[in-house]
Amino acid sequence: MGTLGRHSASAFWIGILLILGVTSPGRGQSAGSKSAAHAGKSTPNSDLALIDLAGYQQLLAKYRGKPLVVNFWATWCEPCRDEYPMIVDLAKQFKSQGVEVVGVDMDDESDMNLVRRFIARMQPPFTNYRQKPGIDLDHFYDGVNPQWKGTMPQTIFYGRDGSVVGFFLGSRPRPQFEQAFRATLGGVTPPGTSGGGK
């Protein structure tokens, strides 16, 4: 009976998530990125807007003047799943200091049901995008960070002027993340990150 109840509850939430996905069919490419950027907190619970390298550069331009943390993640990446709740907590903790956080999901189109469930469970207080299907990933990695070869997760820390304060390839302990979040406020390279520069 307990198992049946759990399956019924799961089916109910999957149905709700699918309905949410169906209600926003036009989100994609440049128009989708623009609408996601303005949608605020409603975006994390709906389908994620698509992003390519040009869209990512537009995203950075949008946040210029604010400290920014961008976390690249995927549901197939266990360290990403382990790290994500910490990113959510730190986003809440540093929001009052003006630090903005953005997530970029690197899952394939076929994994979108997993992505929707993950987002629904994590309830991030920040906007998430996802990689545009069919893009040249090597070109995307290189354009985002020349030292990134696809290692996941990757987190990049930007100062108010848009310069890279530092980045993590792979996961790190929370104290290093806290130092890196603080560094976005002052532009000092945090210990444990790879170097900044553009």
Share of residues in the chain with pLDDT > 90 (%): 68
Number of folded domains in the chain? 1
Looking at per-residue pLDDT, the higher value among 122 and 22 belongs to: 122
Distance CA 147, CA 130 (A): 20
Q: What is the chain's mean pLDDT, rounded? A: 78
DSSP character at residue 131: E
> 104: which 2 tokens?
């970029």
Q: How confident is the model at residue 115 (pLDDT cuts 50, 70, 90)?
A: very high
Q: Are 153 and 144 in contact (CB under 8 A)?
A: no
Tell me: the pLDDT tens digits for 26-56? 222 222 333 333 333 334 435 789 999 999 9
pTM: 0.73
**Residue 197 forms part of a structural domain:** no
Q: How confident is the model at residue 186 (pLDDT cuts 50, 70, 90)?
A: confident
**Residue 198 forms part of a structural domain:** no
Tell me what pLDDT residue 47 has.
Answer: 78
- Which residues fall within 8 angstroms of residue 172, CB to CB, at 6 or more apart? 180, 192
Q: What is the mean pLDDT of residues 104-120?
A: 94
**Residue 166 forms part of a structural domain:** yes
> Which domain, by its residues, includes 124?
2-186
Name the one residue in this structure whose structure tokens are 């790879």.
194
Cα first-last separation, the chain = 58
**Residue 71 forms part of a structural domain:** yes
Distance CA 9, CA 130 (A): 27
Tell me what pLDDT residue 190 has.
Answer: 53
**Residue 117 forms part of a structural domain:** yes
> 80: which 2 tokens?
């990403």
CATH number, domain with residue 113: 3.40.30.10
CA distances in angstroms from 170 to 83, 104, 105, listed in the order given: 10, 15, 15
**Residue 191 forms part of a structural domain:** no
**Residue 196 forms part of a structural domain:** no
- Which residues fall within 8 angstroms of residue 48, CB to CB, at 6 or more apart? 36, 105, 115, 119, 128, 129, 130
